[in-house]
């Protein structure tokens, strides 16, 4: 398998939280930044979509009685905080980085402009897409699918901090859980496999964007993923 040239790396907020399960763990973010630096050095064009679940999840807020759209906007702001933390860490490692937000906040970051994002990527700058899609009722997984389609990324690399692929049961509770090597988006849509929400899966399926689910807890795995090595679980439009 050849190396991917343009990728979207999806980091959940949880992945930045490390062991503590909330907030941002400086050691974890440092490790992720070092791993991203490795793939930039391979010549890959890297865009990152960061989640916000380590700080705030819209659904949790709305379950507590808050208006869903308001709670979702708070979630989008949480992704901006994570994105700035990641940018800071990348720049500490001398990786040129731009944050683009889907909701304008010009004093903090550039607004999302597709053609500008592509230009940054061509100049080998890491582009972090913050603020999700900018719309409530969506997720950052859907953001990764949308931006992947827009910038014509070859693959979405979905980095997990608890599992190293997709299993038929939760491997932390079930010792017999079996890891899938390959799946289709229809498999995800027709089952209760909790990989990404159905909006994100459908967008990936309709636009033929492959997804690789793998673990970032093992250092060097992002590089392996970009090199097309056989790690994790691959999800495609067709078998």
Nearer to ligand UDP, 122 or 170 (CB): 170
Integer angstrom CA distances of residue 185 from 52, 190, 206, 238: 24, 9, 9, 8
The label of the residue with tokens 């793998």 reads: 214
Is 161 labelled as part of a ligand binding site?
yes
Tell me the C-alpha distance between 198 and 46, whole Å. Answer: 25
Binding ligand UDP (rule: CB under 6 A), the pick from 4, 9, 13, 211 is: 13
Q: Which stretch binds ligand UDP (CB under 6 A): 122-130, 134-142, 155-163, 164-172?
A: 134-142
Q: What DSSP designation does 10 have?
A: E
Nearer to ligand UDP, 105 or 227 (CB): 105
Nearer to ligand UDP, 74 or 227 (CB): 74
Using CB atoms within 10 A of its CB, is residue 122 exposed (0-12), middle (13-18) or buried (19+)?
Answer: exposed
Binding mask 32-71 for ligand UDP (x = CB under 6 A): -------------------xxx---xxx------------
The label of the residue with tokens 């630096």 reads: 37
Q: Which spans in the chain are helix H?
A: 13-17, 26-41, 58-63, 68-92, 114-122, 140-151, 185-189, 198-206, 221-226
- Is residue 213 a contact partner of residue 196, using CB atoms and an 8 Å limit? no
Tell me the C-alpha distance between 15 and 9, whole Å. Answer: 12
The label of the residue with tokens 């930044």 reads: 33
Binding ligand UDP (rule: CB under 6 A), the pick from 9, 32, 47, 76 is: 76
Is 137 labelled as part of a ligand binding site?
yes
User: If binding is defined by CB under 6 A, does position 133 make contact with ligand UDP?
Assistant: yes
Is 193 labelled as part of a ligand binding site?
no
To ligand UDP, the closest distance from the beta carbon of 70 in angstroms equals 10
Binding ligand UDP (rule: CB under 6 A), the pick from 14, 38, 110, 187 is: 14
Nearer to ligand UDP, 5 or 197 (CB): 197
Tell me the C-alpha distance between 103 and 100, whole Å. Answer: 9
Is 12 labelled as part of a ligand binding site?
yes
Q: Report angle CA 117, 119, 122 to the nearest 5 degrees.
A: 115
Binding ligand UDP (rule: CB under 6 A), the pick from 143, 201, 221, 233 is: 143
User: If binding is defined by CB under 6 A, does position 83 make contact with ligand UDP?
Assistant: no
Q: Which stretch binds ligand UDP (CB under 6 A): 31-39, 93-101, 139-147, 178-186?
A: 139-147
Q: Give the interface with ligand UDP as residue ranges (CB under 6 A).
A: 12-14, 51-53, 57-59, 72, 75-76, 78-79, 132-133, 135-136, 138-141, 143
**Binding site, annotated residues:** 10-13, 52-53, 57, 72, 133-140, 161, 167, 170
């Amino acid at each position: 398998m050849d190396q991917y040239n343009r990728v979207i790396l999806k980091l959940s907020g949880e992945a930045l939280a490390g062991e503590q399960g909330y907030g941002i763990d400086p050691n974890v973010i440092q490790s992720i930044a070092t791993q991203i630096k490795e793939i930039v050095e391979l010549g890959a064009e890297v865009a990152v979509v960061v989640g916000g679940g380590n700080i705030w999840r819209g659904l949790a807020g709305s379950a507590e009685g808050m208006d869903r759209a308001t709670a979702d906007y708070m979630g989008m702001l949480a992704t901006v905080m994570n994105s700035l933390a990641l940018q800071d860490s990348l720049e500490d490692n001398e990786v040129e980085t731009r944050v683009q937000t889907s909701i304008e906040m010009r004093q903090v970051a550039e607004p999302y402009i597709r053609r500008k994002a592509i230009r940054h990527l061509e100049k080998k700058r890491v582009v972090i897409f913050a603020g999700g899609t900018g719309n409530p009722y969506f997720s950052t997984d859907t953001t990764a699918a949308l931006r992947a389609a827009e910038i014509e990324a070859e693959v979405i690399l979905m980095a997990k901090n608890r599992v190293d692929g997709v299993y038929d049961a939760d491997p932390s509770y079930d010792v017999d859980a079996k890891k899938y090597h390959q799946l289709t988006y229809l498999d995800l849509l027709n089952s209760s496999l909790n990989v990404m929400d159905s909006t994100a899966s459908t967008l990936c399926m309709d636009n033929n964007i492959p997804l690789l689910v793998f673990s970032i807890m093992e250092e060097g795995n992002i590089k392996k993923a970009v090199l097309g090595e056989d790690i994790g679980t691959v999800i495609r439009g067709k078998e």
